[in-house]
Amino acid sequence: MTQLSPEGDSKQITIQSVRDLSADLALTAHGRGYKIALVHPAEAMNVFAANALLKTLEEPPKRTLVLLVTSQPSRLLPTLRSRCSRLRLAGPTRAVAANYLEAARGAGPWSEALAATGAGPFTLMEAVLSALAQLRTETIATLKDIGSGNLQPPAVAERWAKDELSIRLSCLESWVTDRILESAPIRDVTHLSPAALPPKICHLFEFSDAIRDMRKLAHTPINKTMAVEALLWRWARQ
């Protein structure tokens, strides 16, 4: 099995890595077994890498399996998702994951750390718990200040753009999702058309979509300060 993940300090899977993988898969396998490629996390592929993988997914070599593993399928290109069979594996709830981490590493603000990263418990086994919890608390407090008009987006955009932006975006997405679930039972939200939803929930959904779009762009050479400011202005104008 071949595994494709970001290398070194990079947070992206590059087009060259995908091309090398595709070349390896094109070779004839030894014996009669399957060739298996594991791409994890699949959302780490930049747009060029994702497009480079399309041909392999459209015309895979015989006896070849390509597994794209992601906890954020919405961040994959629609063209990638359309060429894959989806197998959904339910992860532990935040409470179960927090109990596991507490048993493994001791007491602490595990729920806050899980919400800060959006990751599973194994990812946090070596994490600096206090730093994650503090970052989440500060991020959400800042968002509330912006929403209440006590703080303007330009005052924080540059700092956020340079300081743990990906984790801050995870914090925001987790917090907004919790607010949606608190505002109405999920069965009611998912069975109503957008026009029938309360304005507050519509705004939360729109902001959640904007956060996901920002997460897709966070590792590209965009002007992050301007992008963060635009995102926060959306929240300020609710």
The pLDDT tens digits for 135-175 are 999 999 999 999 999 999 999 999 999 988 988 998 999 89
More confident residue, 220 or 30: 220
Work out the pLDDT band at 67, boundaries 50, 70, 90: very high
pTM, entire model: 0.65
Cα torsion angle, 224, 8, 12, 204, sign: negative
Enumerate the CATH 1.20.272 domain ranges in the chain, comma separated. Answer: 128-236
Enumerate the CATH 3.40.50.300 domain ranges in the chain, comma separated. Answer: 2-81
* Phi and psi angles of residue 67, each rounded to the nearest 5 degrees, phi first: -105, 120
β-strand partners of 13:
45
In this prediction, what percent of the chain has a pLDDT beyond 70?
92
Reply yes or no on whether the pLDDT at 81 is more than 80.
yes
Reply yes or no on whether the pLDDT at 238 is more than 80.
no
Structure tokens at 184: 């109405």
Residue type, 168: R
Reply yes or no on whether the pLDDT at 20 is more than 90.
yes
The average pLDDT across 52-75 equals: 89
DSSP conformational letter for 70: -
pLDDT value at position 30?
67
CATH for the stretch 2-81 = 3.40.50.300
Reply yes or no on whether the pLDDT at 230 is more than 80.
yes
Class of domain 128-236: mainly alpha
Reply yes or no on whether the pLDDT at 94 is more than 80.
yes
- Rounded to 10°, the helix 165-183/199-217 angle is 160
In this prediction, what percent of the chain has a pLDDT beyond 90?
44
Reply yes or no on whether the pLDDT at 229 is more than 70.
yes
Distance of CA 15 to the CA centre of its chain: 20
